[in-house]
Chains A and B, each alone.
Chain A
Amino acid sequence: MATSTEISLGDVAARGAAYAEELPGEHMTLNVGPSHPTTHGVLRLLLELDGDRIIKCEPVIGYLHRGDEKIAENMTYNQFVPYTDRLDYLAPLANNVAYAIAVEKLAKLEVPPRCQAIRVICCELARISSHLLGIGVFGMDAGAWTIFMYCFTQREKLYTLFEELTGARFTTSYTRIGGVARDMPDGWLGRVNKFCHDVIPVVDEMDKLLTRNKIFVQRTEGVGVITKEDALAYGITGANLRAAGVEADLRKDNPYCGYENYDFEVPIGTRGDCYDRYLVRIEELRQSVRIVRQAIEKMPEGPWYAEDAKKIFAPPKGKVLSSMEELIQNFMIVTEGPQMPPGEVYFEAENPKGALGFYIFSKGGGVPYRLHIKGPSFVSLGILPKMLPGHLLTDVTVILGSLDFVLGECDR
């Protein structure tokens, strides 16, 4: 026969308080990164902890600094395109387009409608690719492994499409100043359409797996809140800003590339927590598919590069090999670079990670005098010292995952 013995626990709270007096309560410094799975790249965090609670956070960046701005000052405008691949290397096509438009603004050059539509498709496919990864690793950080696999299956299909279009899966370098490297291959639009058809059910499935997932919701809701005021003061852009409840999308506010001709909605969050940032991204996936479908439907015929810009865009190979004038034009642009007037511009594009900005100061000629890159991830990480204190150590993983940053663009 089992016997039960009653034990008295006494006043637990009082005992705890007594212990707290006894223990010195030393703060511990914990180093996270620079090479750590939760930091998604080479981000290092110096955390000061009181038990499990974060008292202070000091991000250390620069491990991926390559001096892109210095390099840009020493080469022609077109030569810098491959370097833009390596900014946000999860959405290289979007960087290519943003850079090309920035330089074209300097030259006051308008590219033909077909080129704009191709670029819109590029940007939106890049956004789908980046958000798929962002949501995938975010889910993984919160313990939902399956999502990651689902997302990567779709990204694989996207990479095949990118390869067909640009010749490279990852480092696309697709745009040129005044156009793109080449027109789309035959039947490519049909395959993009097929992808759009295939990806929506997967997004729905991800939605079903995560959005009402109790563990996921409990880990993300109310965690890592960025208020509207903070988001603006810290200059946060993109999905992170929209999650904080600010209506800001450069595709609507300062349309470029003909975005004003497309019908799409901009999802806005209400609380600015990790959960809202997830919701905004998953809806943006659907909106991006919507834009791609419209672009395919309305794809204009005509030239895919600015034909009149004789000093900016090097003509396609076929023409170079058969016509003297085009040969000279090609030679001049390759050796001297696309000729830009003196002036300065600042152009921002709504990239997957936020607003990617290029400040270009030109003194004329084929090389910029100063080219500054504003990476949205740099700004997103700048709020960490303000946001992390007060959270638990385990929240760091979720918060970093929800911010969706990439160090290539942060460190440049």
Chain B
Amino acid sequence: MDTIVETLKAKFPYVAPRPSADHPAVNVPATHLREFAQRLRDDFGYSMLLDLCGVDWDQDSPRFGVIYQFYHAAKKTYLRVATLAPDNANPAVPSLAALYPAADWHEREAYDMVGIRFDGHPNLTRILMWEGYPYFPLRKDFPLSGIETELPAADTTAATHAKVIAAPMMGGPFYAATEGLHHMSDAEPRARDQSWTEAQPKPGQKG
């Protein structure tokens, strides 16, 4: 086992080693995350938070987790920290934005994509999707083809009276030629797990 994992385990009783194919990795419960990250930065010298991402573990419970990638800028080593959000219905973990300003945008992205709330974040709003978008697209139950939603330009259309027409989404991201085929799932094997076909419209699609 890696020495850093040993050291961390000896110092913090709640730290558990985590299987990893490359860098040292540990599991930390969400309740201790902020304290742990603070010590990691101040005592262990992991000065950079390179990345964090939300994960939907689907059938597992707790269902949602966050994976952090820390970097020791002097020793040039990585450390992966994983945590799980205890509540499946309203997943939340503490925000690290006050410790690592880099977490600000990454946490907004994880919230936007997976729907994990970060307690104590200064401005937890959507970042890639628009404000008011109703879904969390990287959850496993969100279909690859997307769900039709109202276009976010209601105020613009009210002011300009311009007609906003949605782009033709038929076929979704992997649309293939359908000559002689009745369902796109016949044309594109990777789309077979989709919850919709041309005969059965996708969720939210009108007509």
Contacts and interface: CB of A to CB of B under 8 A. Distances in A.
Interface of A: 61-62, 65, 67, 69-71, 74-75, 79, 105-106, 108, 230, 232-235, 237, 246, 248, 253-254, 335, 341, 343-348, 355, 357, 359, 361, 370, 372, 374, 378-379, 381-383, 386, 411-412
A235 B49 contact: yes
A359 B53 contact: yes
Interface in B139-189: 142, 144, 146, 173, 189
Nearest to B190: A75
> Which of A67, A75, A379 is the most central at the interface, judged by chain B CB atoms within 10 Å of its CB?
A67
B50 A71 contact: no
Contact of B21 (A70, A248, A344): A344
A235 to B, nearest CB: 3
B90 interface: no
A372 B128 contact: no
Nearest to A237: B50
A71 B128 contact: no
B47 interface: yes
B23 interface: yes
A319 B73 CA distance: 46
B137 interface: yes
A65 B128 contact: yes
A275 B21 CA distance: 40
Contacts of B109: 378
Contacts of B56: 370
Interface stretch (B7-15, B31-39, B96-104): B96-104
A343 B21 contact: yes
Contacts of B78: 346
B101 A386 contact: yes
Contacts of B124: none
B102 A379 contact: yes
A343 B18 CA distance: 10
Contacts of B129: 62, 65
A74 B190 contact: yes
Contacts of A383: 101
A106 B50 contact: no
B50 A372 contact: no
B16 interface: no
A299 to B, nearest CB: 28
Nearest to A66: B173
A411 B51 CA distance: 15
B138 interface: yes
A70 B128 contact: no
Nearest to A412: B128
Contacts of B128: 61-62, 65, 411-412
B51 A74 contact: no
Contacts of A346: 22-23, 51, 69, 78, 80
B22 A345 contact: yes
A70 B144 contact: yes
Contacts of A381: 105
Contact of B69 (A79, A357, A370): A357
Contacts of A359: 51, 53, 67, 69
A370 B102 CA distance: 22
Given A67-B173, A346-B22, 5 more contacts: A62-B129, A67-B137, A69-B113, A106-B21, A343-B21
Nearest to B22: A345
Nearest to A248: B73
A348 B50 contact: yes
Contact of B22 (A74, A246, A347, A411): A347
B175 to A, nearest CB: 13
A372 B51 contact: yes
Contacts of B137: 67, 70
Given A67-B137, A74-B190, A105-B21, A357 B50 contact: yes
B44 to A, nearest CB: 14
Contacts of A357: 50-51, 69
A347 B50 CA distance: 11
A71 B138 CA distance: 10
A59 to B, nearest CB: 9
Interface string B64-88: 0001010001001010100000000
A69 B173 CA distance: 13
B102 A71 contact: no
A382 B101 CA distance: 9
A369 to B, nearest CB: 8
A65 B128 CA distance: 6
B127 interface: yes
A382 B102 contact: yes
Contacts of B73: 232, 246, 248
Contacts of B105: 378-379, 381-382
Contacts of B104: 382
A236 to B, nearest CB: 8
Contacts of B113: 69
Contacts of A105: 21-22
B102 A62 contact: no
Contacts of A345: 20-22
A118 to B, nearest CB: 23
Nearest to A65: B128
A173 B187 CA distance: 23
A370 B49 CA distance: 20
A412 B113 CA distance: 12
